[in-house]
Amino acid sequence: MKAFRALFLLALLGGVVYTYREPLERAALQVYAKVLPCGAPIPYRIGEIDERFGMTREEFLSALQSAEKIWEKPSGMDLFTYSNAGSAMPVNFVYDQRQATTEKLKVLDIAVDQSLASYNQLRVAYAALRDEYVERRTDFSLKTADFDAAQTAHAEEVRYWNSRGGAPEAEYHELQTQKAMLEAQLVTLKREEAALNAKAARVNEMVDALNTLARALNLDVTKYNTVGRTVPNEFEEGLYSESLGERQIEIYEFGSREKLIRVLAHEFGHALGLEHVDEENSIMYPLNKGVSLKASAGDIAELQRRCGVE
């Protein structure tokens, strides 16, 4: 009987461990990382990929492998490993307004790592387009107000004659003519509104581009406001997060493969427990301004602090 009970308990324990193996595995890795930082490679996997990025899974994996080498080469340690296990840290590629803005910059033939001259050139073009939009919007508002007033007057006149059993023939034909003119005006106004909305979208594209360039160039300027919508307050290219024993990396925006590798390496650094450093060309600098795909002296010092490597 005791043997049966022991076997039952072992089977029950085995079932629990199997059922919760992934969260238990994640928890064990978290504890191990706190006790012995960098003592075991962090397993990662490719999570969700938005097809609008236009890159294959193999291309993303290649960038990830290049990113992990940025930390492994100077440390001489195996810090990361690719794994298909569900418990591995997912790296998701999330397409939103940030990447859409980067694509618009490419269409405008402007790279986010260009000089202040690009920003100033775009700012001048934006000011001209915004002034044109404001002028056309004001004119459209006046036309709309006139149309609304004419439509209201027409409706009141129709109600007046309907309350008297109908308009005389001459008045009736006049009302029909007014109705046809109002319908034609409405078609014209809708066409103008569509063109105005398209211009507003173009203004907003330039706003997104200006704000992204300002951030990339680390300019101390006031953010531009869009027309008719709100853009994200921050254009973070990536984010490492950890919650309830689970950690993940989300990548939102990159202008080139090199920028992608740098932002992946930056978030890998946070997964290791690295803090930001002050050198602008560093991987762990708060902004993705540099061009080097090697860890800087500041990066290596931070890696030594965290991992205890020489």
Distance CA 186, CA 171 (A): 22
Strand partners, 139: none
The predicted pLDDT at position 18 comes to 47
pTM of full prediction above 0.75: no
Q: Which long-range contacts (CB under 8 A, 24 or more apart) does 287-291 make?
A: 287/215, 287/216, 287/218, 288/216, 288/237, 288/259, 288/262, 288/263, 289/113, 289/216, 289/217, 289/218, 290/262, 291/113, 291/258
pLDDT of residue 195: 87
- Strand-by-strand arrangement of the 246-251 sheet: 80-82, 42-49, 89-93, 246-251, 238-243
pLDDT score of 110: 58
Strands 246-251 and 238-243: antiparallel
Three-state secondary structure call for residue 239: strand
Two tokens, residue 219: 């300019």
Q: Which residues pair with 247 in a beta bridge?
A: 242
Residue type, 29: L
Phi, psi of 66 (to 5 degrees): -65, -35
Q: Which residue numbers in the chain have pLDDT < 70? A: 1-36, 97-115, 228-236, 244-245, 309-310
DSSP 246-266: EEEEEE---SSHHHHHHHHHH
Tokens of 115: 């000089």
Angle between helical axes of 57-75 and 297-307 (0-180°, round to 10): 80
The reported pLDDT for the residue numbered 230 is 41
Instruction: Write out the two tokens for 26.
Output: 């994640």
Q: Tell which phi-psi region holds residue 250, choosing left (phi > 0), alpha (psi between -120 and 50) or beta.
A: beta
Nearest to 174 by CA among 163, 160, 189, 188: 160
- Residue in 42, 61, 93, 88 with CA at minimum distance from that of residue 272: 42
Q: What is the pLDDT of residue 301?
A: 94
Q: Which residues contact 52 (CB under 8 A, 6 or more apart)?
A: 95, 99
CB crowding 13-52: b at 16 or more within 10 Å, else e? eeeeeeeeeeeebbeebeeebeeeebeebbbbbbeebeee
Q: In degrees rounded to 5, what are phi and psi of residue 247?
A: -130, 155
Q: Please, are residues 288 and 239 in contact by the beta-carbon 8 Å criterion?
A: no
